[in-house]
Amino acid sequence: MQKLIKLSGLVILIFLAYGTNLCYSQNAVNTDTIDQTVTPFRKGRWLTSLSGNISTTTNELKSTNNKTISNDYGINLSTGTFFKERWLFGVTFQAERRESKGEFNVVGESFYIGPQFARYFSKTKDGSL
């Protein structure tokens, strides 16, 4: 019985030692590629952003008692991939609507799809987006 306990203790000890070495080897970093491993601007990573805007404006000209109300809203989406260290290429989508009511009623809409090309100049290895 004592041999079985010693044997199972030895198996557990070997398993723990092997598991620790396996975890350590996974975290090892080659010093030749440290810049590519640490920076968020490395090749192959994706960067996506979503933004929007909503605004309302009221203008009143008291001498003519003319009041104009404008409403604007829009949404922007851009996404791209780093094709080279700190160089990004992707696509941008923008949609906006503007409406103005007053003496004249005016409605304007715009839609844009186009390329996005950027270079990130951050001096630190960890970067900042």
Which pLDDT tens digits describe the chain residue by residue (129 residues)?
Answer: 566 566 666 656 555 555 443 333 334 445 445 444 567 888 899 999 999 999 999 988 888 888 899 999 999 999 999 999 889 999 999 999 999 998 889 999 999 999 999 998 877 666 655
Tell me how far apart the alpha carbons of residues 83 and 42 are, in angstroms, rounded to a whole number: 8
Domain range summary for the chain, segments of one domain joined by +: 1-36, 39-122
pTM given for the model:
0.57
Centroid of chain to Cα 79:
8
Taking alpha carbons only, the member of 70, 88, 71 closest to residue 79 is 88
Fold annotation for 39-122? Outer membrane efflux proteins (OEP) (2.20.200)
Tell me how far apart the alpha carbons of residues 96 and 52 are, in angstroms, rounded to a whole number: 9
Tell me how far apart the alpha carbons of residues 34 and 26 are, in angstroms, rounded to a whole number: 15
Q: Is 70 exposed, middle or buried (0-12, 13-18, 19+ CB in 10 A)?
A: middle
Runs of H (alpha helix) within 53-112: none
